[in-house]
Chains A and B, each alone.
Chain A
């Protein structure tokens, strides 16, 4: 029974991952990240991703506050934020967010405020989406670990 559950969980996870790749939300960098996870650092991926979420939320907040400002003109700072965002996104393989960032940055380079606002909305939407999906993924993973944890003692 439990083995079956584990298989199901794996299938779920693979399906979810396949979906994320297929939609271009993640790219192969995420796989690289997963490969880095081993016995010595079992929670590497979730750790990194959590840092990513933390940082990203900060960045999104400051981006929004920058844009909401009435006499807003600090496109430069926005660019720096976006670079940060882009860097971290490409590091974890959040491909679609990265692409939105590119568009966002293009808009900010042209001092196109309306474009920036639009891009920010898309970015926030994408970010929420990614966050949900990754949480889902981690939940499955956790379940797997739990399942495995149940199984291992039986094997031993």
Chain B
């Protein structure tokens, strides 16, 4: 149920998280929020730009047109003015001629002008009238005078069609003419329609008048005729029309050949190719008569310029119209400019659009990624949940299998069957271990593994781990030893469980892969690398003079077992340095520790050295990858999944350290890692030590011991363990030295102690001459000295050897390695007979009876709402000798636990109606702390009983998830046992609280 609840809670939490993240990340940018509009924006942009470029084109084009128009108008005006000027010059001259004629023809009595004179004069002055093709003078002849006139001149008046003129009122025959127009002599000007009109108008106005354009005689060019009246008498000032008509003597006329005239004129001007000029007579405004130019409308009709022409005849109006020959050329500049502008803008728009699209895409991707990340995290959480659930679900049937196998093994089986069953059980255990490891790995990956931070005794944990592997190592004949530098604080803050796991993993690996030699776990403070460097230098200096003796053809190395180790740093040279450095610093240790207190944390360097098969070079870089082993044969030969080291690495990194290794194939591997632990506060140290750490008996303080061991490293390890018991230790290289030491007490041999104990390594004993030893011993006895206790240290020993040892004087005892302080203490107690009973070490007695001894006589409260559970729990606890009381709810429990009470522990179900286990625990803790405060206030020193009320409360739960455990701790519980009770589980939980009791009681 707890699991389920937890799951659903977790899922909802994930969902909430997802929502939150989505919520916060929805802060879209402008671009993102208008993404749907982007193409429209682009389109709009393109349209605006198209419009703009069109506008630019139009403007430039309009400019061009205006300029063109201006050019046209100036050209037109120029031409009009020129034409007008030339025309008026000609008209003036004709005027002068008219006056000449009136002066010399009429005012003189006999005419001074005859045809020849006139012709000559006009020919000679023709340059003055460039526009006139010729001039002629026609006399006014009335019908009454016609005969006289015809007689006088000798020709008859003819019409324009060169026929004798019909009878009219008046005639105007040409009498003088310029040679160019001599063909019109004797022609009656009045007979032509235009001329007649002209003549009438001229004599009425007295001014030059022009005809409308018509085809001229002779040249057939378009032209106009200019007519001037010539008066025979002087006119009065402001004469009337009648007076003018009366006074008219004749008419001087000239023909303007407009076409050739304008042609000539334009020829003189620049740019006449470009424009087309038309000259019109617009007297009749509805019907314009063309005087010059092509009647067909050619050229650019769109643009024209009109200029007024004033030829001096007010009756006639003329105008000049100019056009360009060609249509206005397309303005390429404008077109290109506009087009380029458009293209550039289009590109800019497209670039912006592309950028926006890209931004949108990137943001989309980003959001997608985020979503995926959230989902992946959720999946990760789900995965670890799943793993936790599944592993739990697998564990339950596995327990069934194992239980049944255990039952099966208890029955009568043939040896083959037993073998099968045992194999099956071993496999099952391995499978459970694997599941636990996978679960661990998953937890670490999910980041759910949180480290504890509690004070613990590192040395005792190392001892524990060693004791785990002592059986295996003894079987293989391996030396297994641990050495902790004195500088490592006794208690450190950290996660003992995880530290133990790391060490167990590494040592387990080492044990697995080592067939001979040793495994050494070494812990020292990693803040002092210098001595090691020094030591290294020393080693180099002493390189040639190595003390290693040649034993049975192989080189003897200064390591624990004499086998070569992969990492030379761990060999005796550096080791010795470390030990001596410590010895030197021992004096100053008080000051040192004071100084060290200042640091909040201490970094420890832990190395696990073995002389196993090593790791192949090619496999060395993937050692820490999960499920990777050196090669596929490894798992076949040695078993294991290859996940252990990766978990170890994760754990080390979680603890703020790093792990590395040096390995040489067929030589061995040394794994070293650093971890940072917190230092313990002095105050809390004493408290926690009592409850948490394994107390070492203090009865050996001050005893003197001699360790006889040829191998310095091993001797140092032995010394370390004895020192922990408070003994003074001397190391002797061989038996002789030791014997002499105890023999000649205070003599020149140096050693000034009278040893209480002599510990002899088996190797030393076997190599040394046993005869002499016993002899020495006898000497000692005879000399009246107190005989030191002789103890043999051995990794493994055969029965024969044991007998031999007894015979040789090691009657007292044999301590089997690996050494552990507590075990050494137990053995010494036995040997020295200090009156203490042998403490029930857990290595010797099995768990059940230990549990019995732990729980025996304890009063325990079981709180569970479920009657069956209550009964079962009570039964289980009673079996181990505890007195059990039950409560069916949190409230009842609170009542029972009103202070003072006599309960030693409380097992609390977590899920109960009304008040659950967490809440009940919180209240109990509250009660306790209140009581404690009162007590501290009343009597400062602790009374006879415990200093503080703290009832160990253990949660009972069917849930294995770590989080539940953390929650248990959070509300003040001390641990948990899984429900239903299992002996081991119960033992582990209970041992924490009751372990020290029997010892301290006795």
Contact = CB atoms under 8 A, between A and B. Distances in A.
B872 A36 contact: yes
Interface string A35-54: 11110110010011001100
A21 B958 contact: no
A31 B869 contact: no
Interface string A102-133: 00011001000000000000000000000000
Given A31-B407, A40-B878, A90-B980, A109 B869 contact: no
A142 interface: no
A27 B399 CA distance: 9
A88 B407 contact: no
B4 A109 contact: yes
A3 interface: no
A88 B958 CA distance: 11
Interface string B1-30: 100100010000000000000000000000
Contacts of A32: 876, 980-982
A145 interface: no
A36 B876 contact: yes
Contact of A52 (B868, B879, B913, B979): B868
A85 to B, nearest CB: 9
A27 B400 contact: yes
Contact of B875 (A27, A41, A80, A88): A41
A138 to B, nearest CB: 16
B875 A87 contact: no
B865 A21 contact: no
Nearest to B397: A27
B691 to A, nearest CB: 29
B958 A48 contact: no
Given A36-B875, A36-B876, A80-B913, A90 B979 contact: yes
Interface residues of A, number: 35
A93 B958 CA distance: 13
B172 to A, nearest CB: 134
Interface of A is mostly: helix
B4 A105 contact: yes
Interface in A31-76: 31-33, 35-38, 40-41, 44, 47-48, 51-52, 55
Given A36-B879, A91-B866, A51 B1 contact: no
B4 A91 contact: no
Contacts of B879: 35-36, 38
Contacts of A38: 879
A141 interface: no
A143 interface: no
Nearest to B880: A36
B403 interface: yes
Contact of A51 (B400, B865, B871): B871
A95 B397 CA distance: 10
A6 interface: no
Interface string B399-412: 11011100100000
Given A48-B868, A80-B913, A91 B979 contact: yes
A35 to B, nearest CB: 8
Interface in B376-402: 396-397, 399-400, 402
A88 B866 contact: yes
A47 B980 contact: no
Nearest to B402: A28
A11 to B, nearest CB: 12
Given A31-B407, A109-B8, A91 B868 contact: yes
A88 B869 contact: yes
B958 A87 contact: yes
Nearest to B873: A91
A68 B882 CA distance: 45
Contacts of B340: none
Contacts of A48: 868, 871-872, 875
B902 to A, nearest CB: 22
Contact of A29 (B397, B867, B980): B980
A22 to B, nearest CB: 9
A30 B408 CA distance: 16
Nearest to B956: A87
Q: Which of B865, B871, B958 has the most CB of A within 10 A?
A: B871
B4 A51 contact: no
Contacts of A29: 980
Given A28-B399, A86-B1, A55 B875 contact: no
B872 A91 contact: yes
Contacts of A47: 871
Interface in B316-336: none
B911 interface: yes
Q: Which of A36, A37, A40, A91 has the most CB of B within 10 A?
A: A91
Contacts of A40: 878
B650 to A, nearest CB: 32
A35 B864 CA distance: 21
Nearest to A88: B868
A93 B878 contact: no
A51 to B, nearest CB: 5
Contacts of A95: 396, 400
B349 to A, nearest CB: 56
A92 B875 contact: no
Contacts of A21: 400, 404
Contact of A31 (B396, B403, B979): B403
Contacts of A86: 1
Q: Which of B397, B404, B865, B869 has the most CB of A within 10 A?
A: B869
Nearest to B877: A36
A13 B439 CA distance: 38
A29 B980 CA distance: 7
Contacts of A83: 1, 911
Given A55-B867, A91-B980, A109-B8, A28 B872 contact: no
A38 B8 CA distance: 42
A105 B876 contact: no
B848 to A, nearest CB: 10
A31 to B, nearest CB: 6
Contacts of A84: 865-866
23 contacts: A27-B397, A27-B399, A27-B403, A28-B404, A32-B876, A32-B982, A36-B878, A41-B875, A41-B878, A48-B875, A80-B913, A82-B1, A83-B911, A87-B868, A87-B909, A87-B958, A91-B869, A91-B872, A91-B979, A92-B872, A95-B400, A105-B4, A109-B8
Interface of A: 21, 27-29, 31-33, 35-38, 40-41, 44, 47-48, 51-52, 55, 79-80, 82-84, 86-88, 90-93, 95, 105-106, 109
Given A28-B402, A32-B980, 7 more contacts: A29-B980, A36-B875, A51-B867, A87-B869, A87-B909, A90-B980, A91-B873
